[in-house]
A and B are shown apart, each in its own frame.
Chain A
Amino acid sequence: MTSITSRISKAALTAAVALSTAATAAVAQFPERPITLMVAYGAGGATDFQARIVTMMAAKEDKKGNPVYLNGQPVVILNRPGAGGQVGWNRFVQRGKTDGYELAAYNVPHFIAQSIVFPGKVKYNIDNLEPIANWGADPAVLIVNKDSPFNSVKDVVDYAKANPGKLTLSGAGLYVGHHIANLQFDKAAGVETKYVPAGGGVKALQFVLGGQTMAGFNNLSDAYRSRDRLKILAVADLQRNDFLPDVPTFKEAGLDVDDSSVNFRGVMARKGTPDDVIAVLADKVPAMFKDKKVIGKMKEGGSPMRVMTRSEVQAMWKERQDYLGELLKELRKP
């Protein structure tokens, strides 16, 4: 009796060992072909541009020819733009493969805000996506034209209070970081302003430079490049930014606007991707983002980096989901 049970358990054990070695072997070899990274915006835009830089070292090998990051396999960028990212992300959660070879770039708060505002149309949300790692964080800043009478956040708030509904602010689009920052600004200052979606961050910057709108929310990186033609009044983040050490945060300027509008960019997979594959990606991808060449190119391009691991991104997504759900409650379009 004992011998039979021990024989059965031995066989089971052998089988289990064999299976697990097979599994580790499969994971050790992952990826064995190029990985696709879907970008939900057009070629040449900021997200596309940065995605190409941060993945350029994917196939790197060390001097002995051993793969450093993704088993020597490159990452291919695939652009699927449309409807502010909705076309690409919808397709990703509906038809993307769950084998780890099809990944997507995310933009927070964009995709989370869209999943809250358009619960019927938008098929994605933080529950059917798996973060891998974050590469960049670009806070929103409040900007005005160099010739503007506004010199501080207080000036802008005073004007908005005296002239309800008259203050015009430009931003890249609806339900993106700039829009969130504007909504927070209105709430914190107790004012009513007019947000003008310009159709792109550069276009929004142009509205401020050309005096089309009185002020605007824009990316810190873009505003920084144009800083000699603008006044940058405040940063919507928890601490001051290294690029602009003299610009106060909104909290310092007396408004309760936090970092919820910071534009995070990173890589995600579809829910259902095997845990071991996710584990490999979560380990290797942030290391790839920290490659010296990647950091150098990102710096040259003036794109602020913030590498975050999978667990850090998971916490960030959850926090944004809760906060934005509250902020955007009235804007829901079921």
Chain B
Amino acid sequence: MEFIQYFAEVFTPVNLLILVFGTIGGLLLGATPGLSPTMAVALLIPFTFQMEPAASLIMLGAVYTSTVAGGAVSGILVNIPGAPANIATIMDGHPMANQGRATEALHYCFISSLIGGVIGVVLLIFFTPMLAQLALRFGPAELFWISIFGITIIASLGGGSILKGLIAGGVGLWLSTIGYNPVLGEERFVFTEHLAGGIHVIAALIGLFAIPQVLSLVASSGSSLGKAKYAELRSHSVVKSFVYNVRRIKALTIGTVVGSIVGVIPGAGGQIAGLVAYDQTKKMSKDPSRFGKGEPDGVIAAESANNAMVGPSLVPLLTLGIPGSPTAAVLLGGLLINGLFPGPDLFTVHGAVTWTFINSLLVGQVLMMVFGLMIARYSVFVTRIPNHVMAAAVIVLAIFGTYSVQNSISDVIVMLVLGTLMYFAARVGFSAAPLVLGLILGQLTETNFLQGRLIAGDDAWSYFLDGPINKIVIGLCVLSIAYSIFNERKQILRRRREAAA
């Protein structure tokens, strides 16, 4: 209970001010495509050079927390996830917005983020030593199976045909092999220098989601400029959302549990948390067919998962210096610059700074929800923007966001090419989500497989198949595939019966 005595530190005027600005700034940065949480935290590190240790960590923590949630705003309103962690959110979030339920979707997004986020930080406060030991047990073999588990569910995410989902996922996996492979030290499929650095996940994410959106906005605005694409926006009271949200225990539990576990696993990250939570909630739902068409549970599960990940991802970072997510990796720099070396000292010698930082994460979650709900009230303005204005704004953001990731014009070209191809692919029923997830998971799968092969040598079979975590995750993979086959058969039979009747 040591942390309670440092709560007052969070509420000193300077620290609170930093927390408020960090949260608002984080929400806005998060909502900008291309400015992922990792980027946002990295950009702020130099500003902390001149700040007090506690204040600088409060700022970085606030930005980390709120960018993760802010990425859902652009996802829900314009179908462009702010960061990879928000891909799962848009599958039901954007359909809700199309039905005029944007405010409601944003409410669920921020309320679930708060609930998931607080539970994640509470885990960080009470279970750090235990979780740190767990984190170390994830090596290449375990991570390989986790990414295979992710691959088993991407096909069913497209919403439409499983076959098209599989094809899109396969193309995504292939895209992930382009460029320089750091384990092999070889280049693959690099026929132009623009591909030398590979296909960056953020460039692909923006291209695949934003460009088809822009093209269809332009295509649809030809006859009547400014025709509303959205159904009449219905206002929705926060209290009603809150009551509904808190009652969705199953989606919240799945989201929070999955998010917390994935957070502890070093190198997995929020995109997998959101994806797995969404998929599990869908499978355990009484009526999975409602998902993808504006089911609030989809938003609740995905957003509680990606925020629940934040706290646990700091566990291996604070205790072992091993970051649980790419953003936590950048945060490590923020700790070091303040002379805070991860390890037991953090909680004893530097306890005042560390506990103030952790407490600020808790307070930051609440602020994030408050400001998020305020943003939700103004979401109506976004839905009233005429199509041609929206298309122009999105294309500017897409190019700016892509360029800013690595200061690379090659990324912009890759983004535009992939996006244009996606526009045509979407017209024949392919969706972008399995493609992006194939790209993300492909890198993870291949790197861990190659490293595992190197480590294992002649005993590859036992290396990849032995060990409790491996067995559990392999079991999950088998279940996941079996469920997909079972479900597909059931639907085919039902369709036959309907046809017969």
Contacts and interface: CB of A to CB of B under 8 A. Distances in A.
Contact of B182 (A43, A84, A226): A84
B338 A300 contact: yes
Interface in A143-187: 165-166, 168, 173-175
Contacts of B38: 44
Interface in A57-94: 77-84, 86-87, 90
Interface string A39-50: 000111100110
A203 B182 CA distance: 13
Contact of B196 (A56, A86, A300): A86
B187 interface: yes
Nearest to B141: A212
Nearest to B46: A52
A43 B457 contact: no
A202 B407 CA distance: 24
Given A43-B39, A52-B45, A206 B407 contact: no
A225 B343 contact: yes
A228 B454 contact: no
Contacts of B139: 207, 210-212
B457 A209 contact: no
A10 interface: no
Interface in B325-339: 329-330, 332-333, 336-339
Interface stretch (B10-18, B101-109, B316-324): B316-324
A86 B41 contact: no
Interface in A97-135: 117, 121
A117 B184 CA distance: 13
A87 B407 contact: no
Interface stretch (A13-21, A25-33, A193-201, A307-315): A193-201
Nearest to A213: B455
Interface in A267-326: 297, 300-303
A35 interface: no
Contact of A205 (B193, B322, B406): B322
Contact of A301 (B186, B323, B339, B455): B339
B196 A83 contact: yes
B198 A210 contact: no
A297 B46 CA distance: 12
Interface in B388-413: 406-408
Nearest to A38: B407
A205 B330 CA distance: 16
A203 B336 contact: no
A189 interface: no
A203 B451 CA distance: 12
Interface residues of B, number: 50
Interface in B140-178: 140
Nearest to B180: A83
A247 interface: no
Given A49-B337, A81-B197, A297-B49, A226 B407 contact: no
Nearest to A43: B42
Among B39, B179, B198, B454: residue with most chain A CB under 10 A: B454
A196 B266 contact: no
Nearest to A200: B329
Interface string B194-220: 001110000000000000000000000
A26 B213 CA distance: 51
Contacts of A205: 321-322
Contacts of B180: 82-84, 86
Given A56-B46, A297-B49, A300-B339, A121 B407 contact: no
Given A212-B140, A225-B342, A301-B339, A197 B182 contact: yes
Given A49-B333, A199-B183, A300-B337, A206 B136 contact: yes
B341 interface: yes
A47 B268 CA distance: 24
A301 B138 contact: no
Given A212-B139, A226-B343, A300-B338, A83 B49 contact: no
B43 interface: yes
Interface in B20-51: 38-39, 41-43, 45-46, 49
A44 B42 contact: yes
B329 A82 contact: no
A143 to B, nearest CB: 13
A77 B333 CA distance: 16
Given A43-B42, A212-B139, A202 B337 contact: no
Contact of B407 (A44, A80, A175, A333): A80
A7 interface: no
Contacts of A222: 321
Contacts of A210: 136-139
Contacts of A173: 182
Contacts of B323: 202
Contacts of B186: 333
Contacts of B342: 225-226
A49 B341 CA distance: 15
Interface string B267-294: 1000000000000000000000000000
B349 to A, nearest CB: 13
A226 B344 CA distance: 10
A307 B30 CA distance: 39
A297 B322 CA distance: 22
B185 interface: yes
Contact of B321 (A195, A198, A199, A225): A225
Interface of B: 38-39, 41-43, 45-46, 49, 136-140, 179-180, 182-183, 185-187, 193, 196-198, 266-267, 320-323, 329-330, 332-333, 336-339, 341-344, 406-408, 447, 451, 454-455, 457
Given A202-B332, A333-B186, 10 more contacts: A53-B49, A82-B197, A82-B406, A83-B180, A83-B198, A86-B196, A87-B197, A225-B321, A225-B343, A297-B337
Interface of A: 42-45, 48-49, 52-53, 56, 77-84, 86-87, 90, 117, 121, 165-166, 168, 173-175, 194-200, 202-203, 205-207, 209-213, 222, 225-226, 228-229, 297, 300-303, 333
In the A-B complex, the 8 residue pairs with the smallest Cβ-Cβ separation, listed nearest first, are A82-B197, A44-B330, A83-B180, A43-B42, A300-B339, A212-B139, A210-B136, A44-B42
29 contacts: A42-B42, A43-B43, A44-B45, A45-B333, A48-B333, A49-B333, A53-B49, A56-B49, A82-B406, A83-B197, A84-B180, A86-B196, A90-B193, A173-B182, A174-B185, A175-B185, A196-B455, A197-B183, A199-B182, A199-B183, A209-B322, A210-B136, A212-B139, A212-B140, A225-B342, A226-B342, A297-B337, A301-B336, A301-B339
